[in-house]
């Protein structure tokens, strides 16, 4: 990490944890294919299985249900577009990987609306599900509900327990995208009864290029990758041992961090108070809803997000204009559109996302940099 910069874009990629770095380097020093039966192969297999146990513990799942993938996007594609569903029900604020996978599927898709805070109203959701099952004559097993536990842009947390109850009562399969919530709030695949749950390594301080699909024994999967039969036949290909080992180490550390999540909430509270003190008309999007303790989406009216992000970057602060998963695009966020936020505000939304390495100095640097953003908006230039 650059000590002269404040990195506040952890929802895009969190800094690599020292535990994960050590696990990766140690694995790279070993040799062996996890499918081989000799001593070297058994050591590689042991690394994979140890990581599987740690990832399962973070997910509140059984280790045998964890399928390692190249990332959350692959896991999502495997479930959503890699299977012949008849009906897909997805919330209006899902990650682009879900939206793109749904678009590729031949299934009928139903969009679950959200309120002004970005949350699903459970009663409305239940009525919608009953309507779909009743009027469309869809068998529950042929339908899949896809819901983000916590949104990557706003940090707003969905009432996942209630949503899971609706799905369970009707026998409908449920996929929970827990990429952003892992290590920030409790996730519990067993309690929810979700047949599918998705995780990502680099969001929790592990290496990029690793993720997991948690799929129960009776969850139907048509593997995207076939060949050697790895991962119990659910994802073929030689395992990325080093990345998986790092993922496991990060999962263990992230789970431990849950006991100290109040520190993160205090840092965010200080950040938001400081930014609003600089610019009282700044708007914290989703502030009245349950949110992840690390995420703050703030709009400064009349200050386009791309301009604000560049000014922040020049001042030594890394932040995002919405989600980093859209390859630098600055088009209007579908998430904010679904929330009914006017485009004049949406186009000014900047996301600050804190992580395990965030310090009070990082928050102070960001508040100072925000003053420069406010000056640019006001047309005031610094005098050298």
For residue range 100-111, list pLDDT tens digits in order: 999 888 888 999
* 331-348 tens-digit pLDDT: 679 999 999 999 999 999
pTM score over 0.85? yes
For residue 82, the model assigns a pLDDT of 72
Q: What is the CA radius of gyration of the chain?
A: 21
Determine, yes or no, domain membership for 201. yes
Domain boundary among 207, 225, 257: 257
For residue 384, the model assigns a pLDDT of 37
Specify whether 102 is located in the same domain as 178.
yes
**Percent of the chain scored above 90 by pLDDT?**
77
Greater model confidence, 223 or 47: 47
For residue 380, the model assigns a pLDDT of 53
Determine, yes or no, domain membership for 332. yes
CA gap 384, 377 in Å, rounded = 19
Domain boundary among 202, 226, 257: 257
Band of pLDDT at residue 75, cut at 50, 70 and 90: very high
Question: Which class for 249: exposed (0-12), middle (13-18), buried (19 or more C-beta within 10 A)?
Answer: buried
Determine, yes or no, domain membership for 264. yes
Specify whether 76 is located in the same domain as 118.
yes
Specify whether 223 is located in the same domain as 322.
no
Q: Which member of 10, 78, 131, 325 is catalytic? A: 325
Number of domains making up the chain: 2
Determine, yes or no, domain membership for 383. no
Specify whether 143 is located in the same domain as 80.
yes
As a whole number, the mean pLDDT across the chain is 91
Domain boundary among 231, 257, 283: 257
Mean predicted confidence (pLDDT) in 138-149: 88
Band of pLDDT at residue 140, cut at 50, 70 and 90: confident
Strand pairing category for 295-299 and 283-285: antiparallel
Is the model's pLDDT at 137 over the cut of 70?
A: no
Greater model confidence, 35 or 55: 55
Question: In sequence order, which ranges of the chain are alpha helices (DSSP H)?
Answer: 18-28, 39-59, 72-80, 96-104, 122-135, 160-170, 189-192, 241-257, 261-278, 305-314, 334-338, 343-346, 360-378
Specify whether 235 is located in the same domain as 342.
no
Sign of CA dihedral 203, 204, 205, 208: negative
Residue 348 is among the residues annotated as catalytic for this protein: no
Specify whether 237 is located in the same domain as 315.
no
For residue 1, the model assigns a pLDDT of 61
For residue 142, the model assigns a pLDDT of 87
Structural domain containing residue 28? 18-257
User: Could you tell me the maximum CA-CA distance found in the chain, to the nearest angstrom?
Assistant: 70
Specify whether 221 is located in the same domain as 285.
no
Specify the CATH number for the domain of residue 279. 3.90.1150.10
For residue 227, the model assigns a pLDDT of 79
Q: Which residues of 118-146 are buried (b: 16+ CB within 10 A; e: fewer)?
A: bbbeeeebbebbeebbeeeebeeeebbbb
Mean predicted confidence (pLDDT) in 122-143: 83
Specify whether 306 is located in the same domain as 250.
no
Band of pLDDT at residue 52, cut at 50, 70 and 90: very high
Specify whether 11 is located in the same domain as 22.
no
For residue 378, the model assigns a pLDDT of 80
* 216-262 tens-digit pLDDT: 988 878 777 777 777 777 887 888 999 999 999 999 999 999 999 99
What one-character-per-residue DSSP string does 154-221 give?
T-BBP-HHHHHHHHHHHT-EEEEE-TTTTTTS---HHHHT-SEEEEESTTTTS-TT-EEEEE-TT---
CA gap 282, 345 in Å, rounded = 10
Specify whether 144 is located in the same domain as 291.
no
Specify whether 86 is located in the same domain as 204.
yes
Mean predicted confidence (pLDDT) in 65-84: 91
Mean predicted confidence (pLDDT) in 255-278: 97
Specify whether 248 is located in the same domain as 265.
no
Asked if residues 323 and 152 have their Cβ atoms less than 8 Å apart, the reply is yes
């Amino acid at each position: 990490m650059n000590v002269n910069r404040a990195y506040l874009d952890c929802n895009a990629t969190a800094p690599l944890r020292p535990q994960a770095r050590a696990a990766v380097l140690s694995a790279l020093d070993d040799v062996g294919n996890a499918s081989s039966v000799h001593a070297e192969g058994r050591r590689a297999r042991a690394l994979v299985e140890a990581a599987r146990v740690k990832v399962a513990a973070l997910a509140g799942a059984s280790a045998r249900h964890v399928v390692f993938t190249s990332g959350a996007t692959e896991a999502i594609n495997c479930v959503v577009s890699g299977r012949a569903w008849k009906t897909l029900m997805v919330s209006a604020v899902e990650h682009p990987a879900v939206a793109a996978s749904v678009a590729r599927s031949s299934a009928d898709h139903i969009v679950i609306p959200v309120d002004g805070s970005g949350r699903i109203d459970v009663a409305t959701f239940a009525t919608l599900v009953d309507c779909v099952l009743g009027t469309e004559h869809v068998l529950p097993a042929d339908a899949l509900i896809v819901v983000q536990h916590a949104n990557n842009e706003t940090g707003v947390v969905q009432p996942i327990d209630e949503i899971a109850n609706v799905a369970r009562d009707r026998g409908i399969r449920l996929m929970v995208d827990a990429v952003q919530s892992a290590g920030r709030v409790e996730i519990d695949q067993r309690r929810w009864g979700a047949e599918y749950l998705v995780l990502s390594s680099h969001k929790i301080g592990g290496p990029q290029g690793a993720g997991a699909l948690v799929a129960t024994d009776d969850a139907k999967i048509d593997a995207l990758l076939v060949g050697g039969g790895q991962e119990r036949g659910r994802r073929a290909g030689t395992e990325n041992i080093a990345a998986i080992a790092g993922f496991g180490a990060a999962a263990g550390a992230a789970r431990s961090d849950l006991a100290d999540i109040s520190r993160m909430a205090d840092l965010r509270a200080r950040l938001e108070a400081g930014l609003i003190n600089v610019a009282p008309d700044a708007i914290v999007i989703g502030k009245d809803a349950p949110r992840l303790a690390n995420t703050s989406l703030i709009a400064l009216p009349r200050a386009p997000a791309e301009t604000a992000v560049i000014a922040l970057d020049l001042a030594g602060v890394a932040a995002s204009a919405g989600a980093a998963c859209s390859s630098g695009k600055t088009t209007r966020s579908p998430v904010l559109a679904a929330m009914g936020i006017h485009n004049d505000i949406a186009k000014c939304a900047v996301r600050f996302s804190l992580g395990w390495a965030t310090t009070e100095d990082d928050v102070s640097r960001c508040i100072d940099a925000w003053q420069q953003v406010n000056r640019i908006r006001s047309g005031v230039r610094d005098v050298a």
